[in-house]
Structures are given as C-alpha cells and as structure tokens.
Structure 1
C-alpha cells in the first residue's frame, strides 16, 4: 500500500467473502469499511442481507449500514450523496475508506461513471406507482418502449420497479434514462488513486457458500427477523422487499409453502443473483480492476 492510494474498492458476488477481506484490509491500513450494497443500507434486515457481524463491527469502524428506513426509496443518487458526506468525514480524519459491496451501480457512481439523476417529485413517483398497481408492469413496459426504447430493451417486461424508475426519471428530467447514462457524473473516488478489486470465486465453491450461509442465517434467527420486519414495516418499499429470503420465509410463516421448499427457493434465488452479479462485473468493470479469487485475496492481503 502506497501513500498515493486514497480508497480501496471491493466488489464481488454475494457470499464471496467481500466483508472478510474488507475487515482484514481495514485492520492493516487503519481503514473504515463503507457499505456499497443496496440492500444492506436498510434497517431491519441485518441477518437476511448479511450485514457485518457484531464481531466485525467491533474490529473496525463501519459506515452506511442499516441507516435507511425500508419504507423509503433509495437510489444510486441518494447513495452518492451519503457516500460524499462519509468521505469528507474520513478524509478529515486521515482514515482510508474501504468500499465493500455487490451493487455495481454504486461503484460506477463513486467513480463518476453515472450522470446525475434528477430529483423525482413525490407527485410523479406516486402517479407511476399507482399506474403500476392498476395496469401491471407489462403495460408500463410497452409505454417505456415507446418513450425510451433503449432502456426498455434492457429491462424485463415484468420488472415493475425498474420500469417505473425509468418512467419517473424521464418525466422528472425531461430526458430518457439511457440518455442520462453517459458517464459524466461527479467522481468521488479517483480510479488512478484507488485499489479496485473484484472477487472471482470458483462457481462450485460459491454455490456451496451460498447454501451454507443461508443455513447460518436460519440458525441466527432469520425467521424471527422476517416476522419482526413485517410487523414493523408492513408498507416496506419495493427495494427493501426484494431482500432474498424475505418473501420465501414470509410464505413459510403464512403456511403457503413448506419450510424445506422456502429454503430451496431462497438459495436458488441467491445463486441466480450471484450469477447476474458476476456477469455484470465482467462486462462493466475495466482492466483497472484486479480480478482475484477470495482465497488468494486473503492470503495476499498484505500486498493489496
């Protein structure tokens, strides 16, 4: 580690060991782990979103975990504003920020590779959410295809959340979402002064890690967490509601599916999500990112 390095970025698929590596590096370099995962920002889902353990929280400082109300909408733009405040604080203290997570858009935002998104007024947001509830995602996808065919072509007709987001942004900003992704945003992290790492686990090993981690979540009280979350946040937003395991365990609690089936569904969804993350990182991150296996990263932590 040289004096020129101002930040470390650690990306990778879920269950690949990012948090362990981040804590190791934070201890070695006097750093602070900063969340870069779109679900770990939410309160109430510490177990299911695999937020850092109490042990890790005691070893090094962590920031931007569990600070968002699950009923709130939270975008890459909102994350960037929060991250900027954290960075200013850490730089004043002379502490190294170590960004860790699996949300690729957050990393692109940090590096200035996303254009600033317009603020969406509540009236526009509520209008499109109401239309989604009334008409369904396929109908709105057809409208998006007419208004912004480039963005519509990248979205599934069943992905109501992202379809609505694209329509909201277009109405609020007067431009298509695809037209606002030219990579002219404000960079908070200079890639030439950052160490950027993508963990690339063996596929078979990752599948085993995902299954084992879900078992650990269940042992840690994931079912009780789901009960408490739904009681506290019955009107949780669409993003927080996407936490893998939430819908599956909720169905089990309600008696709609057997326990074993709920677990299989959650593990399967997690594996599918990990595969999508791996594909995204492979196509979106350039050669400046060091691609390394989790095992090698830990053994070479002193050199990273």
Structure 2
C-alpha cells in the first residue's frame, strides 16, 4: 500500500449523483468534500448550480463551494491553487479529501499541472473574444487545425482560448499543454471513480432537476444577480447554464415554459459533452461505475 496521502475523487456528468455519493463516502471515511465544479464555486448560484444544500453541508465538512463572488472570474489555475491549499490542510490534520465535480479542466489542472502559457496580448484577446464562434472556429481550422479537429465547433470558450493562444504566442495550445507543471498527481494516492449512469436516465434526471430549480428559486437567484451593477455582462457566472435563459425570461422576450425548455436543452447538451469526456479522457485506472458502494473502490 502506498505511503502517499490519500485523495478520493468522484467525477462524472451533471446530475449523475456525484454529490450524494461524495457525502456518503466522506461520512464513511472521515473525509472533507472539496468542490471541483466550475459553476459551484460561485456564491450567487446555489440553486442553479445544484450546490449541496445547507443540510447536506452540515453532514460533513465542505470546501470551495460558493466561495467566489460572481463579479470575479475563477480560472482553472486559480481553483487548482486553492484546491491544493485545502487538500494539504486536510492531509495535515489527518483527514481525507474527497474531490467531487464534473469540470474536467479543473481536475486535469490540479492533477497534471498547468500549461505555462504566456500572458495573452489584450488586443488579440479582445479581437478573438468578439468573433462569433463559427468565425473563430473557421480561423482555428486555418491556424491550429489539430485544435479545431479536437474541439467542438460550438464550444465558444475553448475555441476562443485555442485561437488567442496560437495568435498571441505563435505556438498551438497543445505545445504549452505538453509542458504542464505543478500538478499533485505524483504526490497523492488517488482513488478515482467516474459515474456514468444510463444516458436516458441521466437526461431524465437533468430535466427533473431543472423543474425543481425553477420551482425552488432559480428565477429569483438570477434576478438578484442581474441587479448587481458590479457583475459585468461577460462574467463567467452569467454564462452558467440557466442564467441566459432566465435573463431572457426576466426581460420578457420568452415565457417561463420556453426558458425551462431552453435550459433543459442546454443542460442535456452539456451532460452529453461531459459524458463523452469522462468516458474517454480519464486514465484507465479510474473506475467507470453506475451504482457504486461508497467504500467499494476506496482502498
């Protein structure tokens, strides 16, 4: 058995039951649940990001949930730095960190390290971010065809990132990613489980959860966010699934049924991308499971 400090990880697509399992596991092993979901870092979106309830958070220690103000942008690098500090603190007091989330970029950055990409020229960034995603992807096909083939053509954030990197640095993003540094994967004994429920059941869960969100305060939550004058229109928190749809609802351009329908579609599309990523990208020794026993895989 390894003498390295232990780290548990429960990952998978949205609505796959990760949070409930992480809490059960933490209760069983005296763990601390640590968020690895890009939307759940924002304190403004407890309902719409499906953060654990206050009752769930009271069952075991939780860290990095709702700890970033919506006016700020939380990058993978920032989150990974914060996660390392929390993980080290849990280990120092003899506990076991239980990472839970569905943001693959966050997990890769934490475990494998961050690509040392130089600062992007602000003018290049502004030009790229102003492009419609179709135009940005067409440019990426010319300037970094490998990235264009790898990324979904409609993935606005990742397409723009790849394009701004190759234009600003003269090298493709893959070049920088090959030089990752600072990951903790080599200094922890990682036990990882990926939840991959039946797809149709997963999508049904997504739909039921969206209905519940709208019933339990999602509209009011977005309304409060929009009233904040210090949150810019392009803030990441305003791009979270459900926020654009509810924004249109509050503006009167669509009705409630249409907002729910659009939010469900966006959630399903996101779940599909996550499902594909978690099925294919993590290492082979990460267990792919459907109905795990909380202690079965953590040895």
How high is the TM-score relative to the length of structure 2?
Answer: 0.88
Kindly report which structure 2 residues correspond to 1:89-108, keeping only aligned pairs within 5 A, or say none. 89-108=89-108
| Matched residue, 2:35 | 35
* C-alpha displacement of 1:50: 0.6
- In structure 1, runs of 5+ residues without a counterpart are none
Q: Distance in 2 between matches of 1:211 and 1:191?
A: 40
Paired with 2:154 and 2:267, the residues of 1 have a C-alpha distance of: 19
Do residues 220 (structure 1) and 219 (structure 2) align?
A: no
Structure 2 unpaired stretches of 5+:
none
Cα offsets for 1:193-240 (capped at 9, x unmatched): 211000111222222211221122122211100100111154143532
Separation in 2, partners of 1:216, 1:159: 27
- Per-residue CA deviations over 1:115-147 (Å, capped at 9, x if unaligned) read 4233536xx2454224533x4334443443333
| Contact 1:15-1:209 at 8 Å conserved across structures | yes
1:301 aligned to 2:294?
A: yes
Structure 1 residue 282 corresponds to structure 2 residue 279: yes
Structure 1 residue 3, shift from structure 2 partner: 7.5
Q: 1:19-42: CA deviations, max 9, x gaps?
A: 001111111111111111111112
Rounded to whole Å, the distance in 2 between the matches of 1:287 and 1:40 is 27
What's the CA shift for 1:95? 1.5
Counterpart check, 1:145 vs 2:131: no
Match of 1:70 in 2: 70
The answer to whether residue 240 in structure 2 is matched with residue 247 in structure 1 is no
Q: Would the aligned equivalents of 1:148 and 1:178 in 2 still touch at CA under 8 Å?
A: no
Alignment of 1:49-198 (within 5 A): 49-112=49-112, 115-118=114-117, 120=119, 124-125=121-122, 127-133=124-130, 135-170=131-166, 173=169, 175-182=171-178, 184-190=180-186, 193-198=189-194
Aligned mates of 1:147, 1:267 — CA distance in 2:
34
Deviates more, 1:74-83 or 1:272-281: 74-83
TM-score w.r.t. length of structure 1:
0.87
Question: For the residues of structure 1 that align with 2:283 and 2:119, how far apart are their CA atoms?
Answer: 31
Partner of 1:10: 10
Report the Cα distance in structure 1 between the residues aligned to 2:279 and 2:213, rounded to whole angstroms: 28
The answer for the alignment partner of 2:234 in structure 1 is: 237
Tell me how far apart the structure 2 counterparts of residues 211 and 224 of structure 1 sit (CA, whole Å): 19
Match of 1:44 in 2: 44
CA distance in 1, matches of 2:244, 2:270: 15
Q: How many residues align?
A: 296
Shift of 1:183: 6.8
